Structure formats: C-alpha cells, structure tokens
Amino acid sequence: MNTYEVIRASQLTKKYGGVCALDHVDITVKQGEIYGLVGNNGAGKTTFLKMITGQSFPTSGELSILSKTEESEKNKARKRTGSIIETPSFYPKLTVEKNMEYYRIQRGIPGKDTVDNILTVVGLLDAKKKKFDTLSLGMKQRLGLALALMGEPEFLILDEPINGLDPTGIIEIRNLLLKLNREKNITILISSHILTELSNIATTYGFLDKGILIEQITAEKLSEKCNTYLDISVTDTKKYCALLETKLSCDNYKVMPENHIRIFDINKKMEDYSSLAVLNGIGLLSMEEKRIDLENYYMNLIESVNE
C-alpha cells in the first residue's frame, strides 16, 4: 500500500514576542504512523499541534496537511482530522449521549446512529445514559476521543491524552488508539510526557527540545540504537576508565553521576570488566547489564545537545 504524507512541516517557526516556541522545525508524519512527539515542558509540542489544527499560525516556514499547503485547502483538510488539544468541554449534567448528540447537530453530521456507533468504538455505549459529571477520568478521556472521532477523521491529533489517568485508564486508551490505528487505519500524532507508555504504541518519534527538533527516528531504528550496556559502579571511576582504555581497548563508555560508568559495545566477558577493578585495587560496588529504554535514550539525547 502506498503511504502518503499526512503532515509535512518544513522549517516551521513560531515566535511569541521574544520566545521562539518552534525554531525551523522539519517534521514528517506519514499515513498509518503513530507519531510520538516527545519534549519537556515548553518544548513546543502544543504549539506545533495547534498549528496543524489552525488554532495558531506560523511566523515562517511551511506546513502541509494531507498534502495541502494553501490555507483554504488546508482548512478542508483539517475537516478530515480530529483532535484533542485542550480538554473538550462537555455539559456536566447532560448524559454522554446528549453531549455527543449536541456536538453531532452543532457540526451538522448526519445519521442518528452516528453517536451510538462512535460510543461503541470507544467502549462507552453502556454508559450512554450516565451524566458526564459521574464519569471516571478514563471515561471522560474516551468521550473526548469519541468527539474527536466524530466525522470519521483519517488523522487524529492528541495532546497528552493519558495525563492524569490511572493504570487501567492508560491501558484502555492505549488499546483504543492501537485499535483505531490498526483497524481503521487512522494516523495518530500524539504528544506525551509518559515515555514508557509512548514506547508501547509509537511507530515514529520526534524529539523536541526548546523549540528545536533534535531527532526524528522510527521505532525500529530506535530499537536498534537502544543497545544493551554495562552499568558498573566503582570506587575510582577515573582510574577505572583509564584502565578500560589501555587494558581493554574500550573507549565507548560514559561516566555517570554517583560513580557509575556505562560501557557500550560490550565485547569482553563480564569477568574481564570486574577483574579490571578488583585486580587493580579499585572497589567494585555494582555491575549490571541494562538496556537503554526510551526514557534513557531521550535523557541522553537532551544531555548531548545541552552539553
């Protein structure tokens, strides 16, 4: 199947007075992807999402949505997208069904079955007679998703959709997003702080830091880069590192806080690393083989650009 570009940002820049919220950012989201936008507070994630939905406009650069670059065409393309950027407002005393019906009519979406069908997709059909203010946070989030799905979008934009959810709520949203992506072929752009969760679903990542895109990488490539490493803690890191280089010809290591050293490219036996300390009068405090996860990868990336 041919995949097309759902989003292409080229040198996209957004300035708020003296603050550069996005600085010449290039991001491409391809059809079928679950794109995880990762970044600390203030990195520019929401700014980027708002430019896609038309709630904000670039200072310079280009943004194409579903291959459309011209503003009126982009507005048509936006109708083929669904989004949750700020918490959608629902009437607390109205039922789930009435709230959805309100939005269906307001948006001019035909079909009396529409609401029931969407509530079935998000698993809220049984709760349709419940008043909004009696729903759990997870159910409220799913209702938000239901609203974003109205109009059968081919592209979903979600800003921190699992913030504040308990583990059950997180799993529900995760399964729902995977279902929408796999069964309905909906492309999803999702921003999240919760990297472990993002790593369960994202197929591509964009790492933003202070408005700059520091890396865009597929989950597959990232997994190749997330090698195992040896985490070793010794009493004298300086001496141990010197020995690593001279005795074991290893220079692919990193000194971490609290006397830890990360050794990448482990190509010797474990006892070679331990005896290097012990036989040279260095105390060996701990030694463990670990794998870089998304969180570690992100922290290392941020550290390396801010060095």
Which residues bind to ligand ATP, rule: CB under 6 A? 16, 19, 21, 39, 41-47
Nearer to ligand ATP, 2 or 41 (CB): 41
The whole-angstrom separation of Cα 198 and Cα 202 is: 6
Q: Would the CA dihedral through 36, 38, 41, 44 be positive or negative?
A: negative
Give whichever of 41 and 306 is closer to ligand ATP, judged by the CB atom: 41
118 vs 156, which CB is nearer to ligand ATP?
156
Q: Quickly list DSSP for the chain.
A: ----EEEEEEEEEEEETTEEEEEEEEEEEETT-EEEEEE-TTSSHHHHHHHHHTSS--SEEEEEETTB-SHHHHHHHHTTEEEESSPPP--TTSBHHHHHHHHHHHTT---TTHHHHHHHHTT-GGGTTSBGGGS-HHHHHHHHHHHHHTT--SEEEEESTTTT--HHHHHHHHHHHHHHHHHS--EEEEE-S-HHHHHHH-SEEEEEETTEEEEEEEHHHHHHH--EEEEEEES-HHHHHHHHHHHS----EEEETTTEEEE-S--S-HHHHHHHHHTTT--EEEEEEEE--HHHHHHHHHHHHH-
Least Å from the CB of residue 180 to ligand ATP:
23
Closer CB to ligand ATP, residue 58 or residue 100?
A: 58
Q: Kindly state the smallest distance separating residue 127's Cβ from ligand ATP, in Å.
A: 29
What number of CA atoms fall less than 13 Å from residue 102's CA on the CB side? 10
Q: Which is nearer to ligand ATP, 99 or 199 (CB)?
A: 199
Nearer to ligand ATP, 44 or 58 (CB): 44
Shortest Cβ 305–ligand ATP spacing (Å): 16
The least CB distance from residue 195 to ligand ATP, in Å, is 13
